[in-house]
Structure 1
Amino acid sequence: MSRVGAARETSRLDRRLEALNSARELASGALPQEALDSVLQVLDRAGSRRSLSGDHTVVGFFGATGSGKSSLFNAVSGEEIATAAVRRPTTTEPLAGIWGVQGSDALLDWLEVRKRHAAGPVQGFADDDTGLILLDLPDFDSTRAANREIVQRMVGLVDVLVWVLDPQKYADAAVHNDFLAPLSSHGAVTIVVLNQIDRLPEHEVRPVLESLKDILARDGLDKIQVLAASAVLGTGVDKVRTVIRQAAVQRQAMSQRLTADVTQAAARLAEASGLSAGGTKTAGGRTTADTKAVGDGMAAGATAASRTRLAGELAVAANVPLVVDAVARSYRLEATRRTGWPVTRWLARFRPDPLRRLNLRREGANPELNRTSLPPAGAPERARTDAAVREFAEAASAGAPGPWRAAIRSAAREGSDRLPDAVDQAIASTDLSAGRKSWWWGLFNTVQWLALVTALAGFAWLGVLAALAYLQLPVPEVPRVQGWPVPTVMIAGGVLLGIVLAIAARFIVGAAASSRSAVARKRLKAAVADVAERLVVAPVEREVSRLAKFTAALKAAAGR
């Protein structure tokens, strides 16, 4: 592999690891911690492996008891490095055959391999410049728990996995269910060797190989390399060497292994988040990781319509209609006090101001109000608020996978307890223009007083004339207008003008009260909507945005 190609592969792996880490961080709190911890383990392993020798390729030989794994290891190595005997198991801890000892110590320390052997050159296979490490590992079906733990750990660490099977147990469910099927995404770094073919009649070798390939295909490993060999006779050993040498010389195995790990981790994270159907089902009912398993689950988010519905329901639950009605009634009452007939308008002062009773009447220069005297939210109002928040969360989380839908709903509920108090404060601090005078009040008030004074002057004039007549004094001639005495005209005009003004004021007050209440309704709804935006919508939008970023990061990690 050229340096340019290697650099490009490294850069791609960097981006995918970074994307996987971003997905893990974004999923914190939304997905089970166990799923996040498994991703962190993959990231830690990748970071550790990449910090160690990139010039060495680690090839692990895995097999069941009696598969001839150690014998094949020796045959490939060209010397008796591992102990192979009739008594089983003979391998109790990892054994390394090393071509290119320099720079391998730190890597083997990380692998926890203590038994190390500097192997001699093997013509056409490996020498000190190859940078190859072969590991003979304990049997994966060993009765010793420590041996099984070593195998499980090494499966997650080596660059290339060589599975040594034998004709008697090649279809054993243990190796397929526990190891091969879960590693279906690692086909590029997995080799299966059917060993001990010398124990089969020649005409049965091909059918057994075909049977093995069919089983592997059901495991999701249809493109894997399957080789036949006999460690005893040396048959097929050169082919095994060729495949291993190719992996070592190309220097791609480490990157391919880590890329497969990232792909698998992304698929499992997608499954945990509900973005996949759980991977690809095999014919045997097993589940395998699949890059394409990462779905497109996206939440609908908060739409303008859902925001409007939420604010409207919260406004009703917070008694905004009651406040709007109080604004109209307060305006009518104040207008009556200012423009009503001066003889009777004082009666209006005995009627309480609806806004003042609700502690919403602004006095002076915009004082800051903290609380209203609106009726406290009862069970119906709380139920309406909860239903509104729940409906909004349902609409916003539509399309999101299960765990994320729960996270979005939880975000919507977090601010619900603070809604009643926050909405009350918003209503209290809203400028309802309740104390603002209308321009026409002064005009009507002046004309009303003029009409009253005119009528009273007419009555006084007629009273003086009546007194003069009663006292038998000369009564002066009364001026007339169109034949009507001026005092009478003054009384009639003053009373008639007062009636006309009262009727006109009634219509003007009604229109102005409606206008004031409409303005108040708009401002109150805006104030409630602002509270809903801050306590419900914004947290939900953050979760929806987090899901979108998580999905994008997961797709990048999966290589899509």
Structure 2
Amino acid sequence: MSRAVATLDERLSALGEAADLGRNRLPDGPVDTAEAAVRAAGERRSLSAEHTVVGFFGATGSGKSSLFNALTGRDLARVAATRPTTSEPLAAVWGVRHGQGLGGGPDADGTGEGGGAAALLDWLGVTRRHLLDEAPVLDGGRSGFLGIGHKDGADATGLILLDLPDIDSVELNNREITSKLAGHVDVLVWVVDPEKYADAVIHRDFLATMGSHAAVTLVLLNQVDRLTVADRDTVLASLRHMLTGHGLADVRVLPVSARTGEGLDEVGRQLASIVAARGAAVERLGADVAARADDLSAASGTGDPAGVTDGLEHRLGKDLAVAGGVPAVVRAVEGSYRLRSAKQTSWPVLRWMHSFRADPLRRLHLMPERASARRDRDEIERDPAVHRTSLPTRTGTQRAVVEGAVRTVVTEASAGAPEPWAASIRRAGRAELDAVPDAVDQAISATDLGAAQGSWWWPVLNVLQWLALLTAVVGAGWLGLLALAVYLQFALPPAPSVEGFPIPTLLLVGGLALGLLLALLAVPLTRWTAAARGRRARRRLEESTTAVGRRLVVDPVTAEIERYHRFQSAIGTAAGTSARGRGRARR
């Protein structure tokens, strides 16, 4: 399904969006120019839509003022051989009703043609104005002013013709006025002469930058009466070739002579048709938008950023985990479990020995504190913004790991992007680099390691150990009683036996053997479970550090890539083409 062509309002909005998105990413020149074009277009569209401004541009000696006078039928413009000739813009306005002026006051309120023209000329900065209210429609069907008569019914009402200072004026202010108005008039008429039609100023500074303005550009080769037919064809061919090189292959080139009147009828018809269509202003604004969009596109370049893949994000999380001391935390989780398991499952007589060992997690301030005054012994809530771990201070190597991990992400994510945007993607990813170590420490402190949880088999072995100890104590006590009776010469019946083994002896030996066996059984169980707890803690910690990397590195990078995609889409809309490729998504 083809995409509907964007309206001028949509294109202007897209150009403004592209300039805003490119700010601080692209050079200021193209961005400022695009914003200025959007402002100027808004101002032009708020002014009269019934008037078409046609500007005559040319170098000294091209005869544009003579052409201006010939077309108006009056000697309005000053013609001289000295420089500068035209020192300030001069306007001729047609279609203004009698009694309406072009100056300020009640006639310039914009309600009538005169007022609309006045506001438009005020905006252009043109103060010298002439009203021509009896033309252009001439009676009798004769070919009259602008080559228009009753026979074709054309009407140039609303035409504003400007004679502008020379583009190569020796006065800097004159050149600035001409450059400004070249960006504001609706139709650009470039007047050249046979001797200076290839002048570098007009081609380099003006025509070469207006490849998108062919629809509102007219080139007049003046003074052709001075050329032979062969020379005329040669000059016209050369001029058209140069215009083609500027992207203006479709521009209309007309040979004219202000002195003899040759070609003026055709110029009049061309201008009249443009004015009658009432679309030159929109055409010009559309061409400006396309040109500024091309400038932004050239400043930006094209490409497809690789983005951040899931694998790259997970690798960043693992690197941050290593730099943040997660391996030490995992070892502490395993050591803490082994210590607490020994206190629950080792031989009760020797458990006091484990009380001298410090819990590794407590040393790191990662063991959840418990409220001793509460019966349910719930864990006290920890505020990660307040609590910190007691992991060793980050070394230069660990900081280098963080910087290297972030650098890898931003480099791979920006791969394929044009350089201005690749640089902005890298800046976005590194903007919070200094905050990463502290954020990782907070994430580790806030992670639920499950450190306070025991194992289901601890109570079982604990009960069995106490039963084994009780059995051994009973056996030892029985044997002790028998020994004491013998020592005191009391006659006691012999202890019962099983298969020739006295039961007291069996109780003592069996209790001790069972306790040792249970202690040996607890060793592999403890090691296997501690390793599992370590793996679970590592997974949770890496999820936490990955979240930190996503928040401080990946999300800014992704947001900058999305900004680039929106910029490209806006450029496509502003240029009047379909949206550019959006590139690969991160997920």
TM-score, length-scaled by structure 2: 0.88
The Cα shift of 1:88 comes to 4.1
- Please name the residue that 1:305 is paired with: 311
The answer to whether the 8 Å contact 1:22/1:553 transfers is yes
- Please name the residue that 2:164 is paired with: 137
List per-residue Cα deviations over 1:234-292 (Å, max 9, x = no partner): 1111111111111111111111110110011111111222x2xxxxxxxxxxxxxxxxx
Name the CA distance, whole Å, in 2 between partners of 1:302 and 1:89.
61
Q: How does 1:339-488 map to 2 (within 5 A)?
A: 339-364=345-370, 365-367=378-380, 368=382, 370-488=387-505
The Cα shift of 1:144 comes to 1.2
Name the CA distance, whole Å, in 1 between partners of 2:162 and 2:489.
144
Name the CA distance, whole Å, in 2 between partners of 1:131 and 1:549.
40
The Cα shift of 1:461 comes to 1.2
Q: Which amino acid aligns with 1:16?
A: R
The answer to whether the 8 Å contact 1:189/1:256 transfers is yes
Name the CA distance, whole Å, in 2 between partners of 1:371 and 1:263.
56
The Cα shift of 1:449 comes to 1.3
SS at match of 1:210: helix
List per-residue Cα deviations over 1:169-199 (Å, max 9, x = no partner): 1111121111111111111111111100111
Q: Are 1:154 and 2:181 an aligned pair?
A: yes
Q: Which one of the candidate residues 328, 335, 357 is aligned to 2:334?
A: 328
Q: Which amino acid aligns with 1:121?
A: A
Q: Which one of the candidate residues 85, 93, 117 is aligned to 2:130?
A: 117
The answer to whether the 8 Å contact 1:313/1:388 transfers is yes
The Cα shift of 1:470 comes to 2.6
Q: How does 1:14-25 map to 2 (within 5 A)?
A: 14-25=9-20
Name the CA distance, whole Å, in 1 between partners of 2:38 and 2:155.
31
- Please name the residue that 1:175 is paired with: 202
Q: How does 1:67-82 map to 2 (within 5 A)?
A: 67-82=62-77
SS at match of 1:344: helix
The Cα shift of 1:32 comes to 2.9
SS at match of 1:412: helix
Name the CA distance, whole Å, in 1 between partners of 2:271 and 2:465.
109
- Please name the residue that 2:35 is paired with: 40
Name the CA distance, whole Å, in 2 between partners of 1:105 and 1:224.
30
Q: Which amino acid aligns with 2:495?
A: V
- Please name the residue that 1:214 is paired with: 241
List per-residue Cα deviations over 1:395-414 (Å, max 9, x = no partner): 22122211211111111112
The Cα shift of 1:531 comes to 1.4
The answer to whether the 8 Å contact 1:448/1:501 transfers is yes
Q: Which amino acid aligns with 1:117?
A: H
Q: Are 1:30 and 2:25 an aligned pair?
A: yes
List per-residue Cα deviations over 1:490-539 (Å, max 9, x = no partner): 11211111121011111111121112112211111111111112111111
Question: Higher mean Cα deviation, 225-234 or 503-512?
Answer: 503-512
Name the CA distance, whole Å, in 2 between partners of 1:338 and 1:213.
97
- Please name the residue that 1:281 is paired with: none
The answer to whether the 8 Å contact 1:171/1:212 transfers is yes
The Cα shift of 1:81 comes to 2.1
Name the CA distance, whole Å, in 2 between partners of 1:431 and 1:128.
83
SS at match of 1:343: helix
Q: Are 1:536 and 2:553 an aligned pair?
A: yes
Q: Are 1:547 and 2:553 an aligned pair?
A: no
Question: Higher mean Cα deviation, 113-122 or 501-510?
Answer: 113-122
Q: Are 1:53 and 2:48 an aligned pair?
A: yes
The answer to whether the 8 Å contact 2:414/2:426 transfers is yes
Name the count of aligned residue pairs: 531
List per-residue Cα deviations over 1:354-387 (Å, max 9, x = no partner): 1111111112133315101001111000000000
- Please name the residue that 2:585 is paired with: none
Q: How does 1:235-314 map to 2 (within 5 A)?
A: 235-273=262-300, 275=301, 295=302, 297-314=303-320
Distance 1:317 1:87, change over 3 A: closer
Q: Which one of the candidate residues 222, 233, 237 is aligned to 2:260?
A: 233
SS at match of 2:556: helix
Q: Are 1:316 and 2:322 an aligned pair?
A: yes
SS at match of 1:472: coil
Name the CA distance, whole Å, in 1 between partners of 2:266 and 2:429.
62
The Cα shift of 1:78 comes to 2.5
Name the CA distance, whole Å, in 1 between partners of 2:283 and 2:550.
47
- Please name the residue that 2:574 is paired with: 557
SS at match of 2:206: helix
- Please name the residue that 1:289 is paired with: none
The Cα shift of 1:129 comes to 5.9
Name the CA distance, whole Å, in 1 between partners of 2:379 and 2:542.
20
Question: Higher mean Cα deviation, 466-475 or 336-345?
Answer: 466-475
Name the CA distance, whole Å, in 2 between partners of 1:88 and 1:324.
86
Name the CA distance, whole Å, in 1 between partners of 2:498 and 2:175.
124
Name the CA distance, whole Å, in 1 between partners of 2:379 and 2:481.
52
Distance 1:28 1:203, change over 3 A: closer
Q: Which amino acid aligns with 2:265?
A: D
Name the CA distance, whole Å, in 1 between partners of 2:212 and 2:63.
26
Name the CA distance, whole Å, in 2 between partners of 1:65 and 1:320.
78
Q: Which amino acid aligns with 2:487?
A: Y
SS at match of 1:363: coil
The answer to whether the 8 Å contact 1:430/1:524 transfers is yes
Structure 1 runs not aligned, ≥5 long: 1-7, 276-294
CA RMSD of aligned residues (A): 1.6
SS at match of 2:348: coil
Name the CA distance, whole Å, in 2 between partners of 1:430 and 1:63.
75
Name the CA distance, whole Å, in 2 between partners of 1:403 and 1:57.
40
Name the CA distance, whole Å, in 2 between partners of 1:558 and 1:155.
20
Name the CA distance, whole Å, in 1 between partners of 2:81 and 2:479.
144
Q: Which amino acid aligns with 1:131?
A: G
SS at match of 1:117: strand
The Cα shift of 1:31 comes to 2.2
- Please name the residue that 2:59 is paired with: 64
The Cα shift of 1:128 comes to 7.6
Q: Which amino acid aligns with 2:119?
A: A
The answer to whether the 8 Å contact 1:30/1:403 transfers is yes
The answer to whether the 8 Å contact 1:299/1:397 transfers is yes
The answer to whether the 8 Å contact 1:363/1:435 transfers is no
SS at match of 2:212: helix
The Cα shift of 1:80 comes to 2.2
Q: Are 1:496 and 2:513 an aligned pair?
A: yes
The answer to whether the 8 Å contact 1:95/1:115 transfers is yes
The answer to whether the 8 Å contact 1:197/1:229 transfers is yes
TM-score, length-scaled by structure 1: 0.92
- Please name the residue that 2:375 is paired with: none
Name the CA distance, whole Å, in 1 between partners of 2:454 and 2:238.
95
Name the CA distance, whole Å, in 1 between partners of 2:265 and 2:163.
18
Name the CA distance, whole Å, in 1 between partners of 2:366 and 2:189.
80
SS at match of 2:470: helix
The answer to whether the 8 Å contact 2:156/2:272 transfers is no
Q: Which one of the candidate residues 210, 213, 232 is aligned to 1:186?
A: 213
List per-residue Cα deviations over 1:331-354 (Å, max 9, x = no partner): 011110111011212111111111
The answer to whether the 8 Å contact 2:338/2:530 transfers is yes
